[in-house]
Amino acid sequence: MLKHKWLLSLIIVLPLKFYAQDLSKANFSLVKKLYSEHASQKRVALFVQGDVNAVRAYTNEHGGFVKFVAGDISSLVLPLSAVSGLAALKEVTALEDNSMKLTPLDDSMRVRNNINPVQNGAAPLPQGYDGTGVVMGFIDSGIDFTHPDFKNPNGTTRVLYIWDHNLTGGMAPLPYNYGTEFNSADIDAGNASAHVDNSNGHGTHVTGMGAGNGSAVNAHKGVAPKADIISVCLNWNLPDDDWLTTVADAVNYIYNKALALNKPCVINISAGNYYGSHDGKDLQAQAISNLISQHNGRSLVCAAGNAGQIPFHLTHNHTFSGDTTFTWFNYNPFYGNAIYVEMWGNASSFTQMKFAIGADKTSPVYELQTMGTYYNVTQNLGVLNTDTLYGTSGNRIALVQRFASLANGRYSMIFNIIPDSTQYRFRLSTTNPGAFDLWSFQMTPASGLPTPLQFPDIVKYVAPDLNQTIVSSFSCSDKVITVGEHKNRMTYIDCANNLFTSTTNYTPGSLAPQSSHGPTRDGRLKPEICASGGMSIAAGAYNVLPNLPITNKALGCMHIRDGGTSTASPVVAGIAALILQRFPNATWQDIKNCITQNGMVDSLVTGTIPNNEWGYGRADGFAAMLGCSSLATTELGIHHTLDVYPNPFNDEIKITSDVTIDRVMLLDATGRVIKEHQFNTTNGTAKSIKLSLPDVAPGFYMVKVFSGKSESVARLVRY
């Protein structure tokens, strides 16, 4: 029996060693599956970057199928035994699966975010806007489609489609081939009863914030109450944790449904994952970014996360060779049977650093038990290695897997520690010049450290911090509007007609302490905007309502209170839907600019705007709609392409147009002309110019660019 097992290991490991140089293109969780002895026939969902024709041909030839293509990224399913050969193709530059679970990130809202004037058509808007003709997609835990807030006045459903990833045996949408799809006819005929909101009504509440019509009790109307709804119910318990793959499938599914209907579409995702590179360069994030920009009339909005008060980020920055520091990681069965340590660093600042895993005893005294070998990232590139840690008495303490990959100009270095005992704290020790970032909920914070008298080594300790607590992957894309949370209200009338008052004292409109903040790992602004979250009222799922206390339900007993960035995100998605109703051909950049460059800033919005807590301030629906008025020139056919950067700017801007620039005007927020430049184009065609603006005060501005009788407008922010 042992002999046969050794032969099986040999059969599988030899091909992997043959392709070892190509596995540097893969991520750690995929390589772990490749090294598994018993999973060679298993099918895995992948994102693959490279020549899409070569990838499709290989996939079809080896028993897989391509679900969709976004730019140079293919989303596909392939037998695990064929993955190494795919990695070996010279046309393939990177491939990833994903083993990270998403987490749900969860009226006066319309007042707090200035939505009522938009719905009422206040001057100078030409009409009221309610989301008519726009598809709002919600990728979440499902929807209680029986709730009156999601029905038309005649009782028919407003939900166009439900794709439930959890259900089997029904009609699975192509080309994904999993889950069950219901259309509006199925819902109205009573044939969709198998679908339920499977996470305590999270998806129902989120959908109500963005698109509920308030029909249940004639109150608690969402931002876009007449938008069409498509709901994708995620599987929160996938056996292989292929979370982010299914999210990309859902994005593609919703956009394609809207495209077939010839309607603009905004998608809301109130879920995220706190691990990863936090730079938006993973293949799943790039695939979603490519889908967003594939057609005009698309936007995607997501929650920033609720970890603003949790120290789970770590930065190591060594400036000289003798600098050696360490950080402790604690075993916690809540996060699985291992301690996962994943470092991310740029290629320019990571290759000199060396890393080792050690173990410290904490009782009865603090004592270093063992220290592993120091490795640099290149020694682990593309190959999964395993070390064993032994204690001072010769007992085995842990197995340590190590692996490194290089993709899109940044390295990841991973240690996966599988402990034999819970009595140790495992240390990540680093030396030599360089820098990296790391995110983990298993680190020992500063509050849990011994004194130098108890443990002299502690003077070399680097504690986790509260920086960069934003969720990772697609939320870090520039094409995605990522939303933070401010407090909505302190009181409401509950289900028993009593006044409920929060026991936590705060000022409505102030930043929620738990709201996650940026920047991204590569220093870009996140979130871009904040919206009301805490103590917001929206539709409650019927399978949840009976189990809630009276005080958790609002008057009428059909709506519940909730909060977090999960609740703030659909507010901004709803504003995007209103913009798309007015300007259905707007680009993702148009929509993002309209929302971010017209944020509400007052005494409660702290710091210099923009910043990585507030973004550009609080979402202001009315100001966003007015700030989008320049998009109307597109409909008149006199709009020309205009790029102004950097934005925000400091002392200088560069303006690039597809036509000759005759004149440029800089206006302040009140419309007053601050600067004006006339250009003589008789001796040439000036399509790119630079303007020096060192004496312009910080604030919001508008630049107008004239060419003949046409003009274009862009909004700017001065640091």
The domains found in the chain, sorted by start residue, are 2-96 (3.30.70.80), 103-308+470-484+507-545+566-624 (3.40.50.200), 313-460 (2.60.120), 638-718 (2.60.40.1220)
DSSP 8-state symbol, 275: -
Q: Which residues contact 511 (CB under 8 A, 6 or more apart)?
A: 484, 485, 486, 487, 530, 604, 606, 613, 614
- Comparing C-alpha atoms, which of 481, 508, 696 is closest to residue 602? 508
pLDDT at 704: 81
pLDDT at 614: 97
The tokens for 455 are 């443990």
* CA dihedral of residues 435, 439, 445, 446 (deg, nearest 10): 30
Report in angstroms the alpha-carbon separations of 448 from 153, 330, 341, 365, 456: 58, 11, 19, 15, 15
pLDDT at 242: 61
pLDDT at 12: 30
Question: What phi, psi does 340 have (nearest 5°)?
Answer: -105, 120
CB-based burial of residue 676 (10 Å sphere; 0-12 exposed, 13-18 middle, 19+ buried)?
exposed
The tokens for 704 are 């107008």
Which helix H or strand E contains 96, and what residues bound it? strand 92-96
d(CA 637, CA 634): 5
pLDDT at 635: 36
Which portions of the chain are predicted below pLDDT 70?
1-22, 36-41, 98-107, 218, 238-244, 320-321, 630, 632-642, 645, 647-648, 669-671, 680-685, 700, 708-710, 715, 717, 719
d(CA 568, CA 550): 24
pLDDT at 333: 83
The tokens for 521 are 């790992």
pLDDT at 632: 60
On whether the CB atoms of residues 210 and 135 are closer than 8 A, the answer is no
pLDDT at 10: 26
**Residues 379, 440, 32, 47, CA torsion sign:** negative
**Residues 533, 539, 543, 545, CA torsion sign:** positive
